[in-house]
Structure formats: C-alpha cells, structure tokens
Amino acid sequence: MPRLPWNSVSWPNSLFLVSTLLLALTGVPLYVWRYGLDWFQAILFFAFFAATGLSITVGYHRLFTHLTFKARWPIRISTLVFGAAAFENSVLCWAADHRKHHKFVDQDDDPYDISKGFFHAHIGWILSKTAAETSFEGVTDLLQDRWVRWQHQWYLPIALLASFVLPAMLGWLWAGWAGAMGAFLMAGVARVVLVHHMTFLINSWSHTWGRQPYSNRCTARDNAFLAWLTFGEGYHNFHHAFQHDYRNGVKPWQFDPTKWAIWLLHKLGLARQLRRVPNETILLAEIAEQQRQLAAKLGTRPAPVAEPIRRLLQAAQERLDHASAHWEQRRADYRLAAERRVEASREKLAELRREFHQAAERLRAAIQEWRDTHRLAQAQLA
C-alpha cells in the first residue's frame, strides 16, 4: 500500500483551505435554516466578493504583477488591503509565483504546471507549497514599493481584520450577535472559498478547456463561460500572448469587468498609463494562428488539391508580411520622434504621424485581403 506524502504537505495552507470549505458547507446552511437570509447579508456577501475578487484581478494581477497600468495611492492601498482579505498570500508572493508561471509556463518550474494534472494546477500546488519556497528574484521592482512591503510584513493581521472581523462588525451593527455570525459565515468564510476557487480555476480550467485564437505555444485557453465566473480573467490565451495589456477580454463583446473597472478608474483620474497592444498586432497574432491551423489542414490533403491553395495563400502572406514590416518601421520611427519631441519639429512629427497612419491603413487592407484569401481556401477545402 503506497504511503501518503505527509512530509510534503503544507499544513497551514491545507488546514485553512479544508476548514474554510467545511465551515462554508455546514455553517452557512445551518445559519440560514436557523435565522433565515435577509437582504443585508446577501448584499454584504456580494460586496465583499466583488471587493476581494476585483482586488485580486485589478490589483494583484493586472496592476502589481503585470504593471498594465499605474494607479494612485487610494487604489493601491485598497487593493492591497482587500487583496489580503482574499487570503491568497501577500501581493509580493502572489506576483512572484505568477511571473514565474508566465516565464516557465507548462514546464517543471511553473508553480502550477498543468502537465502535472488538473488537481495540481488547481489546488495541489498550494497544499504542498511552503512560504520558504517563494523566491523574490523576479519581483525586485515590487520590493521598492513601500506599500507592498507594508502589506507583506503585516499580511496576516490585515487579512484577518479585513476578511473576517470587518464583516462580523458590520453584521453586529445590523442585527447583533446573530447578524455578526451570519456576516462572518457568508461575507467572510463562504466568500473566501468562492474567491479562492475563482482564482484557482484560471490555473486549471483555463489551461485545459477552451479556444486558442492567438497562440498555441502554451496550454492557455480562452473560455468565455469562465470569464463570467472570474471577473473577465477567462480570456487566458489572449493574456498569455499579451500579458502586459490591461485587457483580457479584448473584443468589445467579451465580458471583462476588470477591464471596465480599470477604464473607469482611468476616467476618474485614479489610474493612468493604461497599456494596450495595438489592434494590428493582435490581428497579426490571430492570423498567424489561423495560418498554422490551415497549414496543418493542407498537410492532410493530396498535393494536387493543396498546392494551388498553398500558392494562393503564400502570395497573400507575402503582401501581408511586407505591409506588416512597413507598419512596424513607421510605428518605431514615430514613437522615437515622439519620445524625443525636443529634437523633432512639429512638421516632422506630423509627417511621421501621417506616414504611420498610412502604413496602418495599408496593413489593414493587407489583413482584409489575407482574410478573403483564407475564406476562399477554406471553402475549397470544405
């Protein structure tokens, strides 16, 4: 009979995750059966769920880990406090693990490597992870942030106060001890469990099921359904292809409340320097993946069928490559001149801007031509 690997278990993590889950599954139903559920408890649950969930996605993930925008101190501090209330470790540890995930995705050094199994990627890596294993080598920039250092030093007291004590106090003010118990169980314990698994699903589900419209270089996938459960984090294939974009759901119709929250903060003057990948770059990534898929399909067809289609696609691809290279050069010239504004005359900047826009128009025309050719090729292969 195989022995269980007790020596590799992280007991603090395991006991917390198991006890909160069991308490949520037993304590919440018993409380509702005994005291009922009023509107205050429901609103408090959703308020803390949104505050802690968005503090992970807006703060921990897109602000601190990927530096996709800059935020003023009220946003930085609030996401640090309510991010701690999610009980997913300090932002320093969280970012260190996540940056390592992006650097070594699907490899042994990936903390939540999906190739080690769904359970490992979802929660198993936490059950066996100790704090001593976290290296801060990849987050030296965050170590310079005094608020990040403050949260890391006082993480546990902040987490306990914001996650459990604060909702219990609000519940007590509303309905005494019964209200405090309900708020502790629902806005505290049950909410922690849901936010945990909301985050864990990105590491497991988003690397198992879904589409890969931008790249197949790793297992990351876009999953629209999962985006609804994770404040927009389900568009994971896009995120791995363009991790420094503040958006995950880049299409207008894609559900990404985190993106909308960052945009709103920008409009309110609380966020600035939102980083966006140019639309042309995104379109080129989609085309490259579609091209790879079509090439694989052509490889299964007889040469007399595949060869004419391949030549047709090659001609469109050459025009696209030429337009893309020209656009990249004009874009680099304009950005360099804009950064050195003192050395460039207003007339020169206007000329470079005009050339850049013209190159972008030619690129979009080449993209449309490639798409038309691609549709024709698909029709011939059908």
pLDDT of residue 130: 66
The whole-angstrom separation of Cα 60 and Cα 188 is 20
pLDDT along the chain (382 residues), means of 10: 64 95 97 94 98 98 98 98 98 97 96 95 89 83 97 98 98 96 98 98 97 96 97 98 97 96 98 95 90 82 79 84 88 80 69 86 88 83 71
The whole-angstrom separation of Cα 325 and Cα 330 is 9
pLDDT of residue 1: 37
Please state, in angstroms and as integers, the Cα–Cα distance from residue 272 to each residue in 63, 146, 207, 209, 376, following that order.
11, 20, 31, 34, 43
How large is the greatest C-alpha to C-alpha distance in the chain, in angstroms? 81
Residues pairing with 272 in the sheet: 70
The whole-angstrom separation of Cα 244 and Cα 265 is 18
If DSSP codes are grouped into helix, strand and coil, which group holds residue 252?
Answer: coil
CATH fold of 279-381 reads: Four Helix Bundle (Hemerythrin (Met), subunit A) (1.20.120)
Residue extents of the structural domains in the chain: 6-272, 279-381
User: Position 253: which residue type?
Assistant: W
pLDDT of residue 382: 67
pLDDT of residue 4: 47
DSSP structure class, residue 235: B
pTM of the model: 0.91
For the beta carbon of residue 230, count every other beta carbon within 10 angstroms: 29
Full DSSP string of 256-308: -HHHHHHHHHHHTTSEE------HHHHHHHHHHHHHHHHHHHHTTS-HHHHHH
Please state, in angstroms and as integers, the Cα–Cα distance from residue 177 to each residue in 3, 41, 47, 189, 331, following that order.
45, 13, 20, 16, 63
φ/ψ of residue 198, rounded to 5: -60, -45
The whole-angstrom separation of Cα 91 and Cα 193 is 19
Q: Which of 49, 51, 57, 67 lies closest to 231, judged by CA?
A: 57
pLDDT of residue 343: 56
